[in-house]
Each structure stands twice: as C-alpha cells, then as structure tokens.
Structure 1
Amino acid sequence: MKCPVCKCGSYKILKSKGKTSKELLLQCNECGNIFRETIIAEKPVERRVVVSEYEKSHKKFIKIYPDEVVRVEDILDLDGRPAQVSSVENKRGGRVQQSPVIDIETIWAYYIDIPARVGISVDFSGRILSRKVEVDREFEFTVGDIVKLENLLFKIKAMKTLERKMRKGFAKAWVIKRVYGIPIEEKIRYNYDLTSKMIGYDEEYEER
C-alpha cells in the first residue's frame, strides 16, 4: 500500500476494523496524508511445532497467518504457554533463521515458563561427580565462580552452552547445557549455594 499523494510505502495504522476484510485508516509517514485502504484478510494456516520441555519433546500445531514471518527467538503461544523458537525448517528440508509461514514445514521451540535445567560435573582426578540443578533461566554462571553444592565446594573451570564450550566469561542458565568444575578443599567464601536447586543425579555423566 502506498500513499496516493507522495507514493511513499511507509505508514502507520490509525484504525482497523473488520475480520474477513479489513478497512484501514492510514497516515503516511512521509507527508502526513491520511487515507483509507481495504484488504482481504487471508485465513490462518496450521503449522507443526515440535516443542521441548527438558529432555522430552512433543508435537503441537499452531494457526498462523501465511503472510507472517517466523524468526528464531520469536515467542509463540502454545495453548497458553510461551515457547521460544529455536529453529525453523522450510519445505526444502533446510534449517533457517527465519521464513515466511507459507514456506515453513516445522517450527522447533522450547518452553520458557519453566526453570533452566543445568548439568554439573565435578572432576575428582578422573572420578566424575554429576548432578542436575534447576535455576531461574536468567541466572548467570561465570567461569571462576566458587559454588557450594551440599558439602562440596568447587570452582567452575568451563561451561558447555548450546553453541560452544567456554573457558572464560559468563552465560545465562537457559543457554547452558553443562557446567564443569574442580573441587576445592579449603573452606573459602563461595559465590552461591546450589544445594536447594539440586534435583538429583545425572546418571549419564556419573563415573565411578
């Protein structure tokens, strides 16, 4: 849609009414002219969403308009629960950062209304003690932090995120898959206590 006066395609919507067809009252951002347009609203289409909740994934369907664009990090409403888009698969089988809805085969996402679940591995000279903790998604882990976990103190030496392994810096819990540490024998001041956040053993990583 373009302004009939200056032909500019930039405008803001002042008023919109109607469902199957919409009557729009628009104001041109270039010359300020106010004009009306009528558009035929397309019907929403159904698209598959594979949504993760910790280690489990299940399939849902969402209705969305074909002229919209879905992007990685967009938030979707899945039956009242917020889920963030992690990947978009188009009809050619490729994973892309964004795609018009009409070209989408599957949307991959994960729920963000639950705590982040992070694996903890502490290396006792080859014997690995592994635990799982659940913390707020925005909680920050930093390489070098001193952490208390039950009767154990350990120092974070590295972290594995969704994209890479870190040996310095910090990251928020929701992007971290695993924290690696070494035990500290002396009783020194720690940065935080994760004891109350522990939800159990991580048998996949436990070595005896």
Structure 2
Amino acid sequence: MEEYYVCPECGSEDVEVIKERGREVTLRCNECGYVWMITLPKLREIPVIVSKHERSFREKAVLPEDEVIKVGDVIEIENDQVKVLSIELPGGKRVRKAKVAEIQTIWGESLTYPKVFGVSIYLPGGITQSFKVVVDREEEFVVGEVIEVGGYTFKVEMIKTEKKLMRSGKAKAENIVRLMGHAIKGRARRKLKIYEGYDSISAENQ
C-alpha cells in the first residue's frame, strides 16, 4: 500500500522516509528540512468477492482497520478497482457501512469490466423483447433517444438506475440497470452490442 506524505510545516510533498520501525515512520521534508514522526494505521486483509456480471472472483483488499467503508465506495485491489455493493459482518449480517476492523467480507463490482444492463423493447400485441447489452461504463443515455438492439429500433422512454426510475433526463451507463421503450420505425442514433457472456469479454481483452 503506497503512502503519500505532506510536510506539516511548509506543505511540500517532497518528503523522504529516513527511518522505519514497525508502524513508526520518521520523515524529513527536503524543502524546509523539518523532521517529524507518524504512526501508520494498522492494516487488515479483507476478503472481497468481485463480480464481473455472471462470474464472481475471490480477491482481497488491504485496508486501515479504523477506516469506515460504505456501500458505493470504491476500493483498490490488485489490478482492479471495486465498487462496494454490500458489506457483511460476522454472523452474515449485511450493513451499509462499517469499520474495516468489523468487516468479514466485502461484495463488489469490478469497475474495469464493461457495464452490462438490460433492455426491454415493447412490441405490438403486448410482446416484450428483452436483451442484455454491454457498453463502456462512461457512456451516457438520454430519455427520448433512439437506439437499435438486436435488429429492433426503439425509443428510450424510461431509464431504470440503481436508485430510481427516470422518465426524463440522462444517466451514465455505470448506474443503469435497464432501458425501456416501444419499438418504432426510423433510424437509430446508435446500435448497442448484445452481451454474450464473460468468456466473450475475456477473449476480446486477450
């Protein structure tokens, strides 16, 4: 876990570690020459279950024991960033926030894996055609835009996010659960790729 230090005397970040003894670290500022000592927080290794849509992988995070983790936070693990979805305490109790010292397991979603969400297209006769699509997490979608998926063109009438159902406005793919709308005739603004499973994404990244 890489640490960054700032001189409390002059605010410089040009700081050198001159002595380490356990969690006691002596530092010197190369700008003003000030020397001081700090005590690093005690670290704890926490199991992290990382979701990449239908696949889950057991990883670990090393975090300060006194740090408070909340649902929605982003934590660093080796080679990935993970958005916290759930926090489990001993005994299986799920909470929205807790100190690292109290946590048994963190459940989260990989932020390096593309976003996968649902699309529901309403057809004549009460038929609904559903797909799962894969998009870049930073891509934005707007209520009212026209999109093509699986050969169907539809107008987005509602966007369901993790927190609400939107009938106007826009949302980032990162937060979207589902797009919904009626099939129409016309030219689509863009075409979305149907999700074909974890193995297809892994093959693309090789």
Q: Distance in 1 between matches of 2:49 and 2:178?
A: 23
How do 1:123-162 and structure 2 match up within 5 A? 123-125=122-124, 126-162=126-162
Q: Distance in 2 between matches of 1:147 and 1:137?
A: 17
Opposite residue 62 of structure 1, the aligned amino acid is: A
Residue 174 of structure 2 aligns to a residue in which SS?
helix
Measure the CA separation in 1 of the matches of 2:16 and 2:68: 23
The equivalent residue for 1:88 is 87
In 2, the alpha carbon distance for the partners of 1:89 and 1:111 equals 18
Match of 1:23 in 2: 26
Relative to structure 1, the CA distance from residue 175 to residue 119 in structure 2 (aligned partners, 3 Å threshold; closer, same or farther) is: same
Equivalence for 1:7: none
Aligned to 1:138, the other structure's residue is in SS state: coil
In the TM superposition, what is the alpha-carbon distance from 1:90 to its structure 2 partner?
4.5
What are the Cα deviations for residues 14-54 of structure 1, in whole angstroms up to 9, with x where unaligned? 3334262311347xxxxx99452253x46532212122110
Shift of the 176–50 alpha-carbon distance from structure 1 to 2, 3 Å rule, reads same
Q: Is the 8 A contact 1:87 1:109 kept in 2?
A: yes
- Secondary structure at 1:147 match in 2: strand
The TM-score with structure 1 as length reference comes to 0.72
Matches for 1:1-208 after TM superposition, within 5 Å: 14-17=15-18, 18=20, 20=22, 21-25=24-28, 34-37=34-37, 39=39, 41=40, 44-71=43-70, 72-77=72-77, 79-90=78-89, 93-97=93-97, 99-125=98-124, 126-185=126-185, 187=186, 189-194=187-192, 197-199=193-195
The code of the aligned residue for 1:192 comes to R
| 1:109, distance to aligned residue in structure 2 (A) | 1.2
Deviations 1:121-170 (A, max 9, x none): 10114101111211101111111111123432210111211122211111
Q: CA RMSD in A?
A: 3.0
TM-aligned CA distance change 1:56 to 1:151, over 3 Å: closer
Q: How far, CA to CA, are the matches of 1:182 and 1:83 in structure 2?
A: 34
User: Larger C-alpha radius of gyration, 1 or 2?
Assistant: 1
Find the residue that maps to 2:195 and give its secondary structure.
Answer: strand
Higher mean alpha-carbon deviation, 82-91 vs 124-133, is at 82-91
Q: Which runs of 5+ in 2 are unaligned?
A: 1-7, 198-206
CA contact (8 A) 1:132 1:198 kept: yes
Alignment gaps of 5+ in structure 1: 1-9, 27-31, 202-208
Q: Look up the SS of the partner of 1:117 in the other structure.
A: strand
Check the 8 A contact 2:74/2:81 in 1, yes or no: no
> Is this contact kept in 2: 1:90–1:96, CA < 8 A?
no
Aligned length: 181
CA drift of 1:57 comes to 2.9
